[in-house]
A and B are shown apart, each in its own frame.
Chain A
């Protein structure tokens, strides 16, 4: 592998700038004449706008301009779209209500944008925003999905009667009902997957710059996928044609899904820059982020899992209601359908599965993909149900899982997915050994001696990453293809630039992508630059989400490298008068195998550009591009085991051990992969123990709108983690990569909840398992 090649834990190239304060995030950007924006937002969850009076605010000091939704509409700026069409089981298309970037008739959640104020300073913009007078007729609001479906509830959009967006199904309902009817045992459970705020530490920001001389727009923005932002802003929002719009996502401080979507603010700041004639910068504050960043999860599901006499699962029936908030965000429709219900087979061979999913409008901020996006919901549902079944059947949870594992590959599930490779037993064994599962009884007894309740829980997860192929997702309703592009530019002196459509916002692409080149050509990673995040530099790309950058983005780089290597070998063979098939590349040199003839890499690159002596008919230069469209999803899987102690006096849970055993396929940089797992587990622990978005059901006010009210995981909430890998290479991409970005957040919540319910002897517990809830459940059981 070499010290910098595939499989090496290379320290990150990008770290120095972050560690020395030289990172360049969107809010760090400053251009001459730049002014500051502040948005006027609805204080009501549901209201009709009777009038907007800008007169007092317009006279405030420093104000450059104040713009509202009517002007936006007059300029034909389009509505915000959802990019994945879902059809209900009756064949009707999903019911999409209009989402205006600036509302001018109705506001539908607290934080819905109404106007933008542009002023000399942020303080002046904020002061003027407070002087904007919006006369609202307040309407009744509904925040819970179950309630929103009931008769007589507030109606959000005329297009969607009873707030129902779609009523969708997958699988074979009749076969599943038959299996449940014939079962020896049926485990039934209702599960709530709590609503979360993604909370990347960098709040969203955007800087819109209109150049009137060139009639050209530049948008700096906190995006995970700047090319998609440009495409959507051009094709659907009518901001500017693609050739007149440059989108730059510079250093981005975390995303976790929340920075995939194109929000109102990017669109409005670009438009406002043209209207006011000045560059306009907007930076979200944290409360604004809680109010306006797309949230995650928020499902309520009922489950029936049917077993035969041998404890084999013969059927699974799921009914899910998903809260999508006030409007349909970019991928919101795909998350509770094709990213969720297609994973309901888990690691198990289940002959009959049926899932019904209803999605619902409520007076809350839109809900979309958050780390794992549908797969954590599926895993939580399955793994809480498996644990419950094991308790009901009186068998060990490990044995019940073992009995039902998929063991031969490829395996076609009843819900679309075709698992290509895996070894679920290996992860289970490794996790149980690492956790000393067999020693638990003694530890439990020891804890009991101290008056503590000790519990252990496991979860066996599977996920699907690298969503593809494009033709398949297109047939399922996706509005875009999910391939990736790369271009490898070898400079005349042999240094290399790689343009990738993937975007790094913490994942370390500048290092891992460079490791591919070091591995292939033996060139130091310092001689390789990874270029991403700028639509003027990278032709096209789909961005980073769904753990796709390794499996899809790196595969595109490999395809381009194949072409570069082939041309370099042709040149070297010509120069050394050898046969092309005898050329090998090692340690930065091209050699004729079996001889002492050799050419340094840079000399071949130089020959390509001087073009004095190239093979007949060959074009000068050494630069190749590739588009890679995967043939299948990838399927990371693993087993997580969590051990807890609950203090019966206070209900407080302490995690005493957390073990993760993962199969990610081949790994480029183990240090970075482990970091991804650590962070994912922390977010999963946050969901299970601490985090919950809470809206007041009476008036739709967001109660948890700051770090004083929303419990983020902190260092003393978490233990150090014990990780291991049991990798089976992925057969569908050239590097054998499966992806690692979301696993931690997917596998950890059920392991933790299974451990706590084991400790307290009561299965009736919802996330987050706060001390108050745990104490109540413990005492209800006693």
Chain B
């Protein structure tokens, strides 16, 4: 057992966990932040993507202890003051989700992708960069559309760095 401290969605948190605890389980079980999901055991599906110090990581593939001292943003930290983040709003407007299970990871990946590529994001790049996120419902058609729409929106309204 170890006491692990980090900043999650802007709040200082600390909790005891087994040494083998993965970040995703620390978030889900210790902090009750159940928006981050587990869809596979092999770092393939991306349902668990969160931001660690501003970069997207698969929280199923990092120990909670490795994330000690870092700043984590989960899907629960994306909307501000009741307003959906532009990526979330674009997914809603473009029907970029169906069952919702892969959605948190998709949103976190998309936000990272848009921030890295900015105005240069095109369909081929979005499809290539979604390689680490699996969706079984949408056929990706509307996810791609949502991300491109969000990129447009975020280009129009510059986002503060995380």
Could you tell me which A residues sit within 8 Å of B by CB distance?
11-12, 14-25, 27-28, 30, 121, 123, 199-203, 251-254, 256, 283, 285-287, 505-508, 671-672, 674-675, 678-683, 706-708, 712-716, 718, 720-721, 744
Contacts and interface: CB of A to CB of B under 8 A. Distances in A.
Interface stretch (B63-71, B123-131, B154-162): B123-131
Interface centre among B39, B42, B74, B76 (most CB of A within 10 A): B39
Interface in B64-91: 74-76, 78-79, 84, 88, 91
A256 B139 CA distance: 14
A671 B95 contact: yes
B134 A714 contact: yes
Contact of B45 (A201, A287, A507): A201
A14 B78 CA distance: 17
A202 B39 contact: yes
B91 A21 contact: no
B139 A682 contact: yes
A349 B40 CA distance: 46
B88 A201 contact: no
Interface centre among B36, B42, B126, B136 (most CB of A within 10 A): B136
B57 interface: no
Contacts of A681: 139
B101 A285 contact: no
Given A21-B104, A678-B139, A202 B76 contact: no
Given A11-B92, A12-B92, A715-B140, A675 B127 contact: no
Contact of B140 (A24, A25, A252, A682): A682
Given A254-B137, A715-B126, A721-B141, A25 B101 contact: yes
A23 B37 CA distance: 10
A121 B134 CA distance: 28
B35 interface: yes
Contact of B136 (A30, A283, A679): A679
A286 B103 contact: no
A640 to B, nearest CB: 13
Given A286-B39, A707-B45, A714-B131, A20 B98 contact: no
A694 B78 CA distance: 41
Nearest to B77: A21
B159 to A, nearest CB: 17
B100 A14 contact: yes
Given A11-B95, A20-B84, A712-B44, 5 more contacts: A15-B92, A20-B35, A202-B99, A706-B42, A714-B140
A682 B131 CA distance: 15
A756 B148 CA distance: 31
Grouping DSSP codes into helix (H, G, I), strand (E, B) and loop, the A interface class, with mixed when no group exceeds half, is loop
Contacts of A674: 95
Interface string B95-139: 101111111100100000000000000010011101101111111
Contacts, number: 179
Interface of B: 18, 20, 28, 32-42, 44-45, 47, 74-76, 78-79, 84, 88, 91-93, 95, 97-104, 107, 123, 126-128, 130-131, 133-145
Contacts of B41: 285-287, 706
A604 to B, nearest CB: 33
A123 B32 CA distance: 18
Nearest to B140: A715
11 contacts: A21-B76, A25-B37, A200-B136, A201-B99, A286-B41, A508-B98, A679-B98, A680-B139, A715-B133, A716-B127, A716-B128
Contact of A286 (B42, B84, B131, B144): B42
Contacts of B130: 714-716
B75 A683 contact: no
A683 B139 CA distance: 8
A265 B104 CA distance: 27
The 9 closest A-B pairs by CB, nearest first: A21-B35, A18-B100, A253-B101, A682-B139, A506-B99, A707-B44, A678-B139, A506-B98, A21-B75
B89 to A, nearest CB: 8
A123 B144 CA distance: 37
A674 B93 CA distance: 14
A401 to B, nearest CB: 25
A656 to B, nearest CB: 13
A528 to B, nearest CB: 18
A14 B137 CA distance: 15
Contacts of B79: 19-20
B136 A256 contact: yes
Contact of A715 (B93, B101, B143): B143
Contacts of B99: 200-202, 251-254, 505-506
A383 B94 CA distance: 33
A86 B33 CA distance: 48
B137 A679 contact: yes
A15 B91 contact: yes
Given A121-B18, A716-B130, A19 B107 contact: yes
Interface centre among A12, A21, A672, A712 (most CB of B within 10 A): A21
Given A19-B91, A507-B98, A675 B35 contact: no
A506 to B, nearest CB: 3
B94 to A, nearest CB: 9
Contact of B40 (A253, A507, A671, A706): A706
Contacts of A287: 41
Contacts of A30: 32
Contacts of B123: 720
Contacts of A18: 97, 100, 103
A715 B45 CA distance: 12
Contact of A20 (B75, B141, B142): B75
Contacts of B142: 675, 678
A318 B141 CA distance: 36
Contacts of B98: 254, 506-508, 675, 679
